Each structure stands twice: as C-alpha cells, then as structure tokens.
C-alpha cells in the first residue's frame, strides 16, 4: 500500500501526524483542491470573485494550525483565494461555503480519531460532499503528481469570523418555550468552542463536560461507543437535567441520553424529530439509512410523510435529500441532515431541534422515546469473513422466501423480523443489523445466521 493509499479514504483524507499527514501533504492537498474545485465551476461562476475562493477551517488539534496554513498556501498557488474561518466545527464549513458562495471548503480534522491524527474533509460548491466517486480520486491524482513550489499569497488569504452569522443560522432551528437544563459533553472537541458561541443566552442552562480544548481527550471522542457516554450519563443522573448530549471531535455528530441516563438510539431520535418536521412541513420526505428500525418508516407514515430508505453514508443521504426535496434525514451513526441547512448534517442543529421538541412536548425525553421502542435489535455486529460477496449470496439463498433487496449489502425482510448485512469498505468484515418483534424471536433468528456468518469480532 502506498502512503497516499493509506490516507485517502472513501470520504476524506485521514492519518497520523506527522507520519502520514504532514505540512507538505497539506500543501499538495490544498493545491489539488484548488485546481479541482475551480474546474467544477460553470461559465458564470468562473467569473465571480466569490466563487473563486475556498473556505478553510480547522478543529482543535494542536497541529491543525500549521496544516491549515500550508493547505491554504497550496490553494492560493493553484490560482484561487482562501477564506480562513479559523477554529470551527465541521458544519460551520458547510455554512461558510453557502453563506460566502465559495466553490468549496476544506476542514482540517480527524473527526473522532485520537489526538495524534489529522486530515481533510473536502466539500464542493453548495457543500456537496467530495468523496471517492465525486472527486477524491482526481484530487489524489493531482497530489501524486504535483511538486511543491514556492507559494505567492498576494493577499489572497483573508480571515473572516462567521460566528455571529452561524449563531443566527443555527438559532432559526431553536424554539424553547420553557427553560431546559442540559448536560453537554463536548468530548474535548470542537463542541467546547461551538456550544458557548452558539447557545449562550439562548434559553438553555448548559452543564458543560469536557469543554477544554487543546488537551488529551477525557474519553475517545466517539459518542457511538457506549463506554464513552459513561461520564455524561452519570452527570445527567447526578444533576437532574432534562437530557444529555455528547458530540464527537468535530461536532458534526451527536448522541442523546434521556433524563434517566438511558442511551437513545439515533434511529429513534430520527423518528422523534421526523414528526416535528412533518408537523411543520406536511407530506414531505424524510430520509433514513438502511440500518434504521422499522419504527422510523412507521412514524414517518403516521405523521403523513414519505419515508425514503437509503444506503449508509453521508454522500448517499445528501444526494437523496436533494433529489427528493426531503425536509430531514438521519443515520444510525449520529449524523442528522436538514433541508434548511443545505441538506447537510449538523450536530449543533440536531441539538437545537431536539431541545425544541423536548421543550415543546412538555414531557421527559424517556416518555417521548418509550412508544418508539416497539422492537428489539442486535445493534451493529461485525463478522470477519474471507469472501464477503459469497456470504451475502448464501444469505439471500437461505432466506429466499423473504423480501430481499440489494440496496446496500443484502436486506432480508419478514413480517416480524428483518436483517441487513453489508460489507465494510476497507476490511474483510460483514456488518449485521437484525431487528425482531421480541427478544426470543431475535435470538432464534440470530442463531440461524451464525452458521453462515461465523463468530462476531470487534472491529
């Protein structure tokens, strides 16, 4: 595997600093992004000064500053300008691209990876995702061929503070009729900067946890792992708050816990928030990922909306959101998407909408979620297999009397239970999600799957 193959992932560029990601690579990525993003402009936009710019931000990692500086030098050497929006959460970049009308944006971040890691999340015009099939391969090719040359800035890097505008944008989603007390775990990540700037004085009493940045993580900044929520759950119980929320490192994802400290699955939050958006926008589409509980589609239909199931991954969700004019979307991974946020995901807006719903309903979060716990799930379980395609074909054959589709891996549906098995993009793993009407049925069907899938493994 080449060094570039190691860091160019399906949706971003990521690796350990300085072994995999360093200042020279940052410069080359900036240069390649400048060339590629400008090439996507149409004739009119190519003549607009605003579109001949790239927005650049960074998260709180100690090497983010020098990487961002070299990245921007590469961008301007490619022939276009840069707007440095500073240390921001990743969704701020999506806002900056649309607010400023740039041809794209780059966030220097490694999301939920350890502090030793860093990388680059790249977006195109209107914050469209740039991934392996939408430009990242072309950017990699340019990176692999361009030598670093002296940079001439010529005043083409400008600094801009957009926090006031961003606060106003997120604030459009926040309507709290009664004051809420909320425990917020920033995971020593960008939520520690974002939450005070966006939510101070907005009707929420915030109990801050791990808001300090520039230090080691108190726990890994990945809220999808239950153990990483232990501190938040304890704080919720001890301080009698209305609910808790934990953000990942770059604050584009979040996980909620109710007032008892119970973890709320993200598909159940999708179902809850979908009802809110369908009250405001009757008859609209809501998008959800293929791993989500049947409750999601049932709640969307009950609220008069149109459920739209989609493949896992932000590139697929955002594309479907745009094509179907969906008002809202959610993934099991903690990404929540909003039509009025350029079809992009945002931890800040998810927090704002959840606060609005909980305040407006006047009930504890546990009571709002309780009716949605109609089924039991395995959660996502990984199995190591030698031939992923053969195993998925064997599953389709064994359960051929069911409704089967291949939207993402193989999905097998019966009246009282269903499962999806999809392949990992990078490892010899199959990921199982199984749901049933009760625990006995789930255990029985899991036992039927085991001979084909083998023993589960930790990823």
Of 436, 425, 418, 428, nearest to 457 by C-alpha is 428
How far, CA to CA in Å, does 167 sit from each of 17, 194, 220? Answer: 32, 9, 27
Q: Which helix (H) or strand (E) holds 376?
A: strand 376-377
Of 212, 373, 194, nearest to 293 by C-alpha is 373
Question: 103, 51 in Cβ contact below 8 A?
Answer: yes
Confidence at residue 215, expressed as pLDDT on a 0 to 100 scale? 81
How far, CA to CA in Å, does 80 sit from each of 100, 402, 411? Answer: 15, 55, 46
Rg (CA), the chain: 22
Question: 329, 279 in Cβ contact below 8 A?
Answer: no
Confidence at residue 153, expressed as pLDDT on a 0 to 100 scale? 66
Architecture of domain 182-264: 3-Layer(aba) Sandwich (3.40)
**Domain 3-161 superfamily per CATH:** Alpha-D-Glucose-1,6-Bisphosphate, subunit A, domain 3 (3.40.120.10)
How far, CA to CA in Å, does 11 sit from each of 70, 160, 223, 280, 316? Answer: 21, 27, 20, 32, 11
Out of 3.20.20.140, 3.40.1440.10, 3.40.50.300, 3.30.310.50, the CATH code matching 376-457 is: 3.30.310.50
Give alpha helix (H) positions in 40-151: 43-46, 64-77, 90-100, 137-145
In the sheet with 117-123, reading across from the earlier edge strand, the strands are: 13-16, 117-123, 104-108, 53-58, 81-87, 157-159
Confidence at residue 155, expressed as pLDDT on a 0 to 100 scale? 66
Question: 369, 272 in Cβ contact below 8 A?
Answer: yes
Q: What string of pLDDT tens digits covers the 459 residues of the chain?
A: 479 999 999 889 999 999 999 999 999 999 999 999 999 998 888 889 899 999 999 999 999 999 999 999 999 999 999 999 999 999 999 999 999 999 999 999 999 999 999 999 999 999 999 988 899 999 999 999 999 988 776 669 999 999 999 999 999 999 998 999 999 999 999 999 999 999 999 999 999 999 999 888 999 999 999 999 999 999 999 999 999 999 999 999 999 999 999 999 999 999 999 999 999 999 999 999 999 999 999 999 999 999 999 999 988 999 999 999 999 999 999 999 999 999 999 999 999 999 999 999 999 999 999 999 999 999 999 999 999 999 999 999 999 999 999 999 999 999 999 999 999 877 889 999 999 999 999 999 999 999 999 889 875
Catalytic site residues?
Answer: 111
For residues 330 and 359, give the distance between their C-alpha atoms in angstroms, rounded to a whole number. Answer: 21
How far, CA to CA in Å, does 192 sit from each of 81, 118, 221? Answer: 29, 18, 12
Angular region, 126: left φ>0, alpha ψ -120 to 50, beta rest: left
For residues 286 and 279, give the distance between their C-alpha atoms in angstroms, rounded to a whole number. Answer: 12
How far, CA to CA in Å, does 454 sit from each of 117, 186, 384? Answer: 33, 38, 8
Q: Which helix (H) or strand (E) holds 180?
A: strand 180-185
For residues 251 and 232, give the distance between their C-alpha atoms in angstroms, rounded to a whole number. Answer: 16
Q: Do domains 266-372 and 376-457 have the same CATH topology?
A: no
**Residues β-bridged to residue 423:** 430
388-398 and 439-453 helices cross at what angle (nearest 10)? 130
Q: Tokens 């080359």 — which residue?
A: 28
Distance, C-alpha 122 to centroid of its chain: 13
- Quote the pTM value: 0.96
Of 371, 369, 372, 376, nearest to 260 by C-alpha is 369
**Domain 266-372 superfamily per CATH:** Alpha-D-Glucose-1,6-Bisphosphate, subunit A, domain 3 (3.40.120.10)
What are the sequence ranges of the domains in the chain?
3-161, 182-264, 266-372, 376-457
């Amino acid at each position: 595997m080449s060094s570039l193959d190691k860091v160019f992932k399906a949706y971003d560029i990521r690796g350990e600093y300085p072994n995999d990601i360093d200042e020279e690579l940052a410069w080359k990525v900036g240069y390649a992004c400048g060339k590629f993003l400008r090439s996507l402009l149409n004739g009119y936009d190519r003549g607009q000064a605003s579109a001949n710019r790239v927005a650049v931000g960074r998260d709180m990692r100690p090497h983010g500053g020098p990487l961002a500086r070299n990245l921007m030098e590469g961008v301007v050497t490619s022939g276009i300008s840069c707007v440095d929006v500073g240390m921001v959460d990743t969704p701020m970049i999506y806002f900056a691209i649309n607010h400023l009308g740039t041809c794209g944006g780059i966030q220097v971040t490694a999301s939920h990876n350890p502090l030793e890691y860093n990388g680059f999340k790249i977006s195109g015009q209107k914050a469209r995702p740039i991934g392996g099939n939408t430009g990242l391969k072309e950017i990699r090719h340019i990176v692999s061929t361009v030598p670093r040359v002296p940079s001439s800035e010529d005043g083409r890097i400008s600094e801009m503070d957009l926090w006031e505008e961003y606060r106003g944008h997120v604030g459009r989603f926040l309507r709290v009729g009664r004051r809420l007390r909320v425990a917020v775990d920033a995971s020593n990540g960008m939520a520690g900067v974002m939450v005070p700037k966006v939510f101070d004085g907005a009707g929420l009493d915030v109990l801050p946890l791990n808001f300090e940045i520039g230090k080691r993580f108190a726990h890994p900044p990945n809220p999808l792992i239950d153990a990483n929520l232990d501190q938040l759950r304890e704080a919720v119980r001890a301080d009698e708050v209305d609910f808790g929320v934990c953000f990942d490192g770059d604050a584009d994802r979040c996980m909620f816990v109710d007032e008892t400290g119970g973890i709320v699955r993200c598909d159940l939050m999708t179902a809850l928030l979908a009802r809110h958006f369908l009250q405001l926008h009757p008859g609209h589409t809501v998008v959800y990922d293929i791993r989500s509980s049947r409750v999601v589609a049932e709640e969307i239909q009950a609220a008069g909306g149109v459920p739209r199931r989609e493949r896992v991954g932000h590139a697929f969700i955002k594309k479907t959101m745009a094509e179907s004019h969906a008002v809202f979307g959610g993934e099991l991974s903690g990404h929540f998407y909003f039509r009025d946020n350029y079809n992009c995901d945002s931890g800040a807006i998810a927090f704002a909408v959840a606060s609005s719903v909980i305040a407006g309903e006047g009930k504890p979060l546990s009571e709002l979620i309780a009716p949605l716990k109609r089924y039991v799930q395995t959660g996502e379980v990984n199995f190591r297999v030698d031939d992923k395609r053969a195993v998925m074909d064997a599953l389709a054959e064994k359960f051929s009397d069911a409704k089967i589709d291949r939207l993402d891996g193989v999905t097998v549906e019966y009246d009282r239970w269903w499962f999806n098995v999809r392949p990992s993009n990078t490892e010899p793993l199959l990921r199982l999600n199984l749901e049933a009407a009760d625990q006995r049925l789930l255990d029985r069907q899991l036992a039927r799957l085991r001979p084909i899938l083998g023993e589960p493994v930790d990823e």
